[in-house]
Structure 1
Amino acid sequence: MERKKVAFIISSLTSGGAERVVSTLANSLSEQFDITIITLYKCKPFYPLNNSVNVVSCKNSYSGNASVFLSVKNLFGFIYTIFKLLKRHKIDIAIGFMSTTNIYTIISSNLLNIPCIVSERIHPEYSSLNNFWRKVRRFIYPLSNNLVVQTHDIKVYFESFLKPKKITIIRNPLAPELLKNRDSSVEKEKIILNVGRLTNQKNQEALIKAFHKIQPKEWKLQLIGSGKNKEKYKALITELNLQNSVTLLGNINNVFDHYNKASIFAFPSRYEGFPNALTEAMAFGLPCISADCPSGPSELIENNINGFLIPVDDDNALENTLRLLIENPEKRVTIGDEAKKSTSSFEVDYITNQWKKLITSLLSK
């Protein structure tokens, strides 16, 4: 039987949660389907892709600070280019990731009369979409065949303008290339770890300040990721005289080395879609402290059992919980062991099977 052709459509394949999910799913689904990834902008994939996964791009580069005229031109340009690429590669079903890309995907797919799935990756109430795009999303999303979200909270939001039966909750898969590097024999070091973009959303500033207040002897704080707050955080680290104990590591490929070595994972985000980094840290057996933000952490962590949930923007709670784990190595082990056990349902085969079921059901209609 001829293999069906599936296309993922996403802005780019740089480092990031959505990009990792697309790369992981593309690799896993390529065992059953012919996979093409269509990116809006050309870039070298940050995460590994199987040789069988085909990557094509709409444009060579991103042009920021676009005028209204250029934005409208881009809108029609992307729809037309995606339409042509879907037709050229004889795609049977299209899967969009992220709001604006989802809109391009739905319109292009409908023009070709092929089914499409769209996937939201951030809690919509905290999305950076302007009012124009929010109105377009409300009008266009009902034309999709299915919307995939990660949490119950996000599903409830979209039920205001989408039929509940057209919304499916599927968690993010843990990347197998990451999990194969889990090594419990690595000696733990006195490191508090955070992984994520350096932005106000991720709130690493609170973590740096909490670390400064505690001033734990011989401990280090390491932040993996890049973002617009990098210079601000560098200045804060210097101001607090933490240059010898707090390190901004940037984007790195060997994040597993840091998950293996760290003793605590701290995640003070103000909002999430579904927190990949938190899931990864738990899968590596790290005791995790997370803000109980919308949405995701409360569906991962049972407080004081397999991690700790603290109120959003509660600096005292962050400081006190960090101190608790720093001073109690036995607690770190107990919580970390429970965290690792609780993430087995996020392994790629389990999540891929849910995607396969959804894709197959739409292709059979």
Structure 2
Amino acid sequence: MKRKKLAFIIPSLKAGGAERVVSTLTNQLILDFDIVIVVLYACKPFYHLNPEIQVVFCKETYNSTPSFFQSIANHLALKNTCKKVILKEKADIIIGFTTIANIYSVLIAKQIKVPSIISERIHPQFGSISNFWVKVRKIIYPKTNALVIQTKEIKDFFTKYVQEEKVKIINNPLAEELVAQRNIQTIKSNHIICVGRLTEQKNQELLIRAFANIKRGDWKLLLIGEGNKKEAYKQLVDDLKINDSVVFIGNVKDVSAYYNSAKIFVLPSNYEGFPNALIEAMYFGLSCIATNCPSGPSEIINDGENGFLIPVKDQLTLEQKLSTLINNNNLQTQFSKKAMRSTKPFEAPSIANTWKELISKFL
């Protein structure tokens, strides 16, 4: 029997949460389907992709400051390029990731009469899209066959205008190459790590300030990721005179070495869609502290059982919880064991199976 073909649409395949999920998911789904990933802007894929997966780029560069009319013209041209690729590839279903790609996916699917599944990756109340696209989303999303989100809170947001039976909660998968690197025998260092883009959203400033205020001893804070706040954070570390204790690691393709050797992980975000790094850290058995931000952490951490949840932007509580963990090896061990157990359901084959069932419903 001829294998069905899936066409994914995503803006980029650089380092990032949505990009990691698409890479992990397609690496699993290629066992059952032919796959083409239609990428809006050319880039070198950051995560490993099975060589059987076809990748097609639509446009060389992204114009970040177009006028409104230029922007609309760009989007129409891009959407038409995606449509040509998908028609040429004879895709049986279109799967969009992130808002703009989702809107393209639904429009193209309607035009060429195939089903579409779309997937939001961040809490929609905090996304960076303009009011124009928020309005377009309200009109277009109800026309999809299914909308995949990660948390109940995000589901509640979308069911205000998308039929409830179309909205499906599917968690993000753990990347298989990462899972394979877990080594619980690794000797642990007194390291606190934070993995994520250095941006306002991720709010590493909260963590830097809290870390500066506690009795640190020989503990080090490792910030893994790049972002537009990097220079400001470096200056802050300088001002707080904690240069000896804070290391800026940058983007890392394989984070497993840091997950294996660190003891504590902190997610200081103001908001999330579903925090991949938190699941990864818990899967590797780190003692985790996360802000109870919208959305995700409260569905992963049971406060005081397998990690700590703290209020968003609450520096004092973060200082207290960091000090508690640093000084309590037994609690670190308890959190570690329970965190590993509670994140087993996020393994890629299990999540990919749920996606496969959903995709198969429309083929």
TM-score category, normalised to shorter length: over 0.9
Counterpart code for 1:88: K
The residue number in structure 2 matching 1:46 is: 46
Aligned length: 363
Identity within the alignment, %: 50
Q: Describe how 1:95-106 pairs up with structure 2 within 5 A.
A: 95-106=95-106
1:124-157: CA deviation from partner (whole Å, max 9, x where unpaired): 1111111100000000111111100000110110
CA–CA distance in structure 2, aligned partners of residues 241 and 101 of structure 1: 44
Which residue of structure 2 lines up, in the alignment, with residue 24 of structure 1?
Answer: 24
1:348 maps to what in 2?
Answer: 348
Does structure 1 residue 125 correspond to structure 2 residue 125? yes
Which AA in structure 2 matches 1:202?
Answer: K
Where does structure 1 differ by over 4 angstroms across 4 or more consecutive aligned residues?
A: none
Partners in 2 of 1:257 and 1:357 — Cα distance?
34
Q: CA deviation at 1:68?
A: 1.1
What is the CA–CA distance in structure 1 between the aligned matches of 2:185 and 2:340, rounded to whole Å? 15
In the alignment, is residue 112 of structure 1 matched against residue 91 of structure 2? no
214-223 or 21-30: which moved more?
214-223
Determine helix, strand or coil for the equivalent of 1:285: coil
Mapped partners of 2:79, 2:176: distance in 1? 33
Aligned partner of 2:323 in structure 1 is 323
Residue 277 of structure 1 corresponds to 277
SS of 1:134's equivalent in the other structure is: helix
TM-score by length of 1: 0.99
Give the C-alpha shift of residue 241 in structure 1.
1.4
Q: Deviations over 1:277-336 (max 9, x none)?
A: 000000000010000001000000001100110011111110000000000111101111
Query: What is the TM-score normalised by the length of structure 2?
Result: 0.99
Q: Report the equivalent of 2:35.
A: 35
Secondary structure, counterpart of 1:304 in structure 2: coil
- Give 2:295's aligned residue: 295
Consecutive unaligned residues in structure 2, runs of 5 or more: none
Q: 1:165-204 counterparts in 2 under 5 A?
A: 165-204=165-204
Partner of 1:262: 262
Give the equivalent residue in structure 2 for 1:242: 242
Q: How do 1:43-82 and structure 2 match up within 5 A? A: 43-82=43-82
Letter in 2 for 1:158: F
**Shift in Å at residue 59 of structure 1?**
0.2
Q: CA deviation at 1:210?
A: 0.6
Report Cα offsets for 1:74-103 as digits up to 9, x if no partner.
111111111101100110001000011110
Map residues 1-16 of structure 1 onto 2, 5 A cutoff: 1-16=1-16
Structure 1 residue runs of 5 or longer lacking an equivalent are none
CA RMSD between the two structures: 0.7
Deviations 1:183-240 (A, max 9, x none): 1111000000000010111110010011100141100000101111011001101111
Give the whole-Å Cα distance in 2 for the aligned partners of 1:109 and 1:82. 11
Higher mean alpha-carbon deviation, 65-74 vs 89-98, is at 65-74
Secondary structure of the structure 1 residue equivalent to 2:222: strand
Query: Aligned partners of 1:195, 1:225: CA distance in 2, in Å?
Result: 6
1:244-301 superposed Cα distances (whole Å, 9 cap, x missing partner) = 1101111011210000010100111111000000000000000100000010000000
What SS is found at the alignment partner of 2:362?
helix
**Separation in structure 1 between the aligned mates of residue 255 and residue 70 of structure 2, nearest angstrom:** 38
- Separation of aligned partners in 2, 1:146 and 1:53: 23
Provide the C-alpha distance between the structure 1 equivalents of 2:215 and 2:128, rounded to a whole number of angstroms: 35
CA contact (8 A) 2:215 2:323 kept: no
Do the aligned residues in 1 keep the contact of 2:191 with 2:264 (CA within 8 Å)? yes
Report the Cα distance in structure 1 between the residues aligned to 2:66 and 2:246, rounded to whole angstroms: 37
